[in-house]
Amino acid sequence: MSEAESASSAGDMAKAERASFDPRILVFTCNWCSYAGADLAGTSRLQYPPNARIVRTMCSGRIDPVFVLEALKDGADGVLVTGCHPGDCHYVKGNFRAEKRFHFLKMALKQLGVEEDRVRLAWVSAGEGEKFSLLIRDITEKVRELGPNPFKSSNVKST
C-alpha cells in the first residue's frame, strides 16, 4: 500500500469513527417562540436527526450560562440556546439579555478551550419549524465533526 493510500484510508477511518459518533445535543427553547417552532417542525413532519433533547423555559432570558456549563460538564456534546427573534420577545427584551450573557459565555468557553461550534445561540419564531429542523441538522453535523465533548467529567484524563 502506498503512503498516500494508507494516509487516505486512515482519513477514512477517522471519518467513519466520526460518523459513528452520535453527539448528544441539549436544546434550550423559550416557551413562546422556539418551543412552538419545534412543535411546528413536528406537525409539519419535518425530519431531523434524533440527537437533540429539548429543555423548555419560559424565556431565553432565563438561561443562566451556568446551565450551559453544567450541561457540558455532564457530557452534552453541543448546546443550542434558542429564543424569539430580537423585538419579538414575549417578555419584551429577555432575548437581548440572553444574547448579552451568551457573549460572555462564549468568551469564557474560549478561554477554557471549548470549540466555538459546540455552543450556539439562534432565534426561532413559532412559524419557523423548518428553520428549527435545519438548525438541529446543522449543529448535529458540526458537533459530529468535532467529536465527543472533551470536557465531560468522565472524558477528562486525570493527571
Partner 1 sequence: MEEPTIGVFVCHCGINIGGIVNVPEVVEYAKTLPNVAWAEGNLYTCSEAGLSSIKDAIKKNGLNRVVVASCTPRTHEPLFRSTCEEAGLNKYLFEMANIREQCSWVHSHEPEEATTKAKDIVRMAVARSRWLEPQDEPEVDVADSAMVIGGGISGLMAAVSMASQGFKVHLVEKEPQLGGITRRLGKIYPTLQDSSDIIDPVIKAATASENIRIYTSATLKDISGYVGNFKVSLKKGTEDTRLEVGTIVLASGALNYEPPKGSFQYGVLDKVVTQLQLEEMLTQGKLAEPERVLMIQCVGSRTGEVWTYELSDMTQSFAARLLSKILGAKKEEGWPYCSKICCMNAIKNAIRIKEQWPKAHVDILFSDLRTYKEYEDFYRRARALEVKFIRYIREIPPEITEAPDKKVKVTVYDTLAGVETEFLCDLVALSTPLCPSKEDVMLARMLKVPLGPDGFFMEAHPKLRPVDCQSDGIFIAGTACGPKDIPESIISAKAAAARASILMANRKLKTEALTADVDTDLCMGCGLCEELCPYGAHKIEGGKSKTVAALCRGCGVCAADCPRRAITMRHYSDRQILAQVEAMMT
Point out which residues bind partner 1 (CB under 8 A): 24, 26, 32-33, 35-36, 38-43, 45-48, 50, 53-59, 61-64, 66-67, 70-71, 74-76, 87-94, 97, 101, 125-131, 133-134, 152
- Residue placing its CB nearer to partner 1 in the complex, 45 or 159: 45
Sheet with 25-30: list strands edge to edge. Answer: 52-57, 25-30, 78-83, 119-123
- Shortest Cβ 5–partner 1 spacing (Å): 34
Q: Which is nearer to partner 1, 129 or 146 (CB)?
A: 129
Q: Distance between CA 156 and CA 42 in Å, rounded?
A: 37
Q: How far apart are CA 49 and CA 85, in angstroms?
A: 24
Shortest reach from residue 19's CB to partner 1, in Å: 15
Q: Which is nearer to partner 1, 11 or 127 (CB)?
A: 127
Q: How far apart are CB 6 and partner 1 at their closest, in Å?
A: 34
Nine-digit cell string for 118: 459546540
CA atoms within a 13 Å half-sphere pointing along the CA-CB vector of 103: 5
Q: How many CB atoms lie within 10 A of CB 19?
A: 10
Q: How far is the CB of 156 from partner 1 (least distance, A)?
A: 15
Radius of gyration over alpha carbons of the chain, in Å?
Answer: 17
Q: Which lies closer to partner 1 via its Cβ, residue 12 or residue 64?
A: 64
